[in-house]
A and B are shown apart, each in its own frame.
Chain A
Amino acid sequence: MAEYTVDCLGEACPVPLMKVQKKMETMAVGDVLVAQIDHSCAMKNIPEWARNQGHNVEIEEVDDGEWEIVIEKTK
């Protein structure tokens, strides 16, 4: 069970989501991905995409205008 981080700070939509999608493809089931974002739209569309895919998702507001989206790959 590995944990990966993608740094999407300063990236504008839809780059964060595309990076997350790309990374998720390379991961094994059970792995966890932490996406660091500061784009308020990505804080809505990444969780939405991941939940639609059936993964477990959590959002943490780590600082003013900065979030970490934690995604556990389930399939």
Chain B
Amino acid sequence: MSEENNNTTPAAGASTIRRASSRAPRKPKKSQLPFALLVFAVMIVIGVLLSFRSSDLAMFWVFGGCFGFILQKSRFCFTASLRDPCITGSTSITRAVLIAFAISTIGFAAIKYNAFANGLPIPGQSYVQPISLATVVGGIMFGVGMVIAGGCASGTLMRVGEGFGMQMLSLLFFVVGSLWGAHDMGWWTVNFVANGPRVFLPDVFGWFGAVVIQLLIIALLYVAADKFERKKMGITDED
């Protein structure tokens, strides 16, 4: 499924590239493990303190920690998934994002259908947003912003954790921009958002149809992304 190169640590001494300059002797690296354990301990203490306030807070704290850990470990970057095809023609992150979409689609549909079949209100329907000019303008603004700031919302938070000064600044202005957007939201709502249709795909295609069609679209995009990369990188089918 994936032909990603993940061998990031070459075998010691197996260097095949002859470098002209002699490599400077490296100072011994300092293990950051003690700091890691310290941070972990702090996270646990915060989690326990939060659980005294409410178990919900503690649970979201744990979820946040897991998301951050996964994002950093896999260098998962929604920005790169949309930007790299434009810059390098690489679509490996794009395809990974599509896989995440496919899996979560199945899980979400199951949870939503369960509520529907039992006559309960379907959860999370507020995330089925109205489609209007605001979606278009917002999408373009966000797209430009995330590429020049070098990180989307989750990516910015993750890079703040990794110690990027630049993303700390962009997080601050992300917050300022959010406030600005919230300030103007009344106008946008009255003129555009309120008239925008909310389209929940199962309402159109039925539950089964919606899931199948969405998965098919994701599969087609996956194939298109793979073909695009091969063309861009000049890879011909050898195997």
Contact = CB atoms under 8 A, between A and B. Distances in A.
* Most chain B Cβ neighbours within 10 Å, of A39, A45, A47: A45
Interface residues of B, number: 38
A12 B150 contact: yes
Interface stretch (B9-17, B38-46, B196-204): B9-17
Interface residues of A, number: 36
Contact of A14 (B17, B18, B27, B80): B80
Contacts of A18: 87
B30 A49 contact: no
Interface string A10-50: 10111101100100000000001010000111011101110
Query: How would you classify the secondary structure of chain A's contact residues: helix, strand, loop or mixed?
Result: mixed
B88 A17 contact: yes
Interface of B: 4-5, 8-10, 15-21, 26-27, 29-30, 32, 72, 75, 77, 79-80, 83-84, 87-88, 90, 92, 150-151, 159, 162-164, 166-167, 233, 235
The 9 closest A-B pairs by CB, nearest first: A12-B150, A3-B20, A72-B17, A41-B75, A52-B233, A44-B75, A51-B5, A58-B10, A70-B17
